[in-house]
Structures are given as C-alpha cells and as structure tokens.
Amino acid sequence: MRSILIDRIQGLVTELGEILVLCRETVVSIRYQRPSWGDFLAQLYLIGVKSQTVVVTTGAATGMVLCAQTYFQFHKVKMDTATGAVVSVGMCSELGPVLAGLMLTGRVGASMAAELGTMKVTEQIDALRTLATHPVDYLVVPRVLGTLVAAPLLTIESVFVGIAASYLVGVHLLGIDGAYYLANMQRLTDPPDVIMGLIKAVIFGAIISTVSCYKGLGCRGGAEGVGRATTESVVMASISILVVNFFLTLLLNRIFLTL
C-alpha cells in the first residue's frame, strides 16, 4: 500500500515537472518565434466563438439560480434588495470564471487532447519533426494564445448574461424593486471583484490549454490511449481549476485589501 502511494506521488511530481517544462517551452516559443496569426485566429474562433452557447447558457442558469436562492434566504430578514449585490459579486469574482473554465475544460480541453493525441498515435507529430517544425511552435502556441484571449472574454460574457438573467428573475418574477436592485449592485460591487475574475480567467485558460496539450502530446496506445488522454486532461484540468481557485481567492483578496 505504501509503495503504491509513493509511486503515485512520484508520478504526480513527474507530471507536474513535465507540464512546467512544456510551459517554459511555450513561453520561449512565444517570445522568440513569431506565432502564426492564421493558426491563432483559427483557434480563437474554435475556442471562443464556438464556446459561447455553452458558456452563456451556464452563466444565465447560474445567475438565475443564485438570485432565487439568495432571495429566499434574504427575504427572511427583509434584505431582498441586497440580492443583486450578492449575485454581482459572486458572478464577477467566483462563479463566472470558475464555471466558464469548467465548461471550457469539457468542451475545448477534451477537443485539444483528442486532436493532439490522434496526431501523436498516427505519427503526424513525428512527421512535423522530420520537417524541422517544432510541435510546440506549430501546435501548442496557437492553442495556448487562443485560450488565453478567449477565456477572459467568455468570462465577461458569462458574467454579464448571468447578472442580466438574475435581474429578470429578481425584479419580474420575485418582485424585488428594480431601482434598489441595481443601486445596491452598483454600490457593493467593487472594481477589484471584476479584476479578480479576469485574472482567474486568464490563469484558468493557461491551465486548460497547457494540461490538454500535455496530455495530447504524451498520448500512447492507439485509440484507447486517445480516450484515456482525453479523460485525464478533463479531470486534471477541472481539479486544477478548483484547487487553484481557492488559493487565488485567498491571495488576491489579501493583495487587494492591502492596496
């Protein structure tokens, strides 16, 4: 039992080290190589534009549910008009970036891992090397840049739609006064809440793209290996987002409180 635990810890440390090496190679490639704008725009379209439906739907549903649940609890203490502030702060700093990141992991991360894994097992990546093309330059960098740009934009869209949906539910369904709803939302939502959400979105985008590309490039074992790599990329990226979000919340709140 102890040896199995040690082997798993060693495997996890090895994976983290390899991911950090891939991050370093990606940063070096972005700094010293000129990225292909065509590939970048193609990835931005696939990651950003085609993910809008799932992200917007998630944001709207989350905003409506959060508004309803907050109202039911605040109504007991006659604080109905504070519902909008809770929804706004929660969507901007926590739920918006986290849920957008998880949705991107399921849709985009799985696609990246499957695509690169298929190229790996069919030896297309080896063919790139024979043509003096580094896989990181040609395959990883456009995906990383596309995710870094698309993630915060999708988060903004998700937050906006979530707050708008919560307003419709709160004012037109639950009967909260619209003027007080908006006034409290504006008064209690600070710029650091929005900045915190955008910072998290960028970091989550880096996690999704890097982990997915790492799992795809390391795929082995044919079709079964592609499926395994896809599953592992989604699981690892999702868990990483949830864990990193906790530490980012503590760190960013501490930083903004000291400013």
Output 20-26 pairs: Cβ under 8 A, ≥24 positions apart.
22/136, 22/140, 22/210, 22/213, 22/214, 22/217, 23/206, 23/210, 25/136, 25/140, 26/136, 26/140, 26/141, 26/144, 26/210
Which tokens hold the place of 155?
Answer: 């988060």
Structure tokens of 182? Answer: 């908006």
- Please report the pLDDT score of residue 169 as a whole number: 94
Short-list 253, 248, 217, 254, CA closest to 101:
248
Of residues 112, 113, 110, 90, the one with CA closest to residue 102: 110
Distance CA 76, CA 43 (A): 48
CB 136 within 8 A of CB 21: no
Angstrom distances, CA of residue 164 to CA of 91, 140, 175, 189: 11, 36, 15, 15
Q: Report the sign of the C-alpha dihedral through residues 10, 236, 141, 137, in that order.
A: positive
Q: How many domains does the chain fold into?
A: 1
Q: What is the pTM of this model?
A: 0.92
CB 153 within 8 A of CB 48: yes
Q: Which domain holds residue 77?
A: 2-258
**Can you give the pLDDT of all 259 residues of the chain as single tens digits?**
667 777 778 878 888 888 898 899 989 888 888 778 888 899 999 999 999 999 999 999 999 999 999 999 988 888 888 898 999 999 999 999 999 999 999 999 999 999 999 988 888 888 888 887 788 888 899 999 999 999 999 999 999 999 999 999 999 999 888 888 899 898 888 999 999 999 999 999 999 999 999 999 888 878 888 889 999 999 999 999 999 999 999 999 999 888 7
Give Rg (Cα) of the chain: 21
Return d(Cα 213, Cα 26) in angstroms, integer.
11
Query: Dihedral, CA atoms, 145, 94, 89, 193, nearest 10 degrees?
Result: -50
pLDDT the model gives residue 1: 61
Kindly report the length of the chain.
259
Q: Are 226 and 219 in contact (CB under 8 A)?
A: yes
Per DSSP, the residues of 194-252 read HHHHHHHHHHHHHHHHHHHHHHHHT--SHHHHHHHHHHHHHHHHHHHHHHHHHHHHHHH
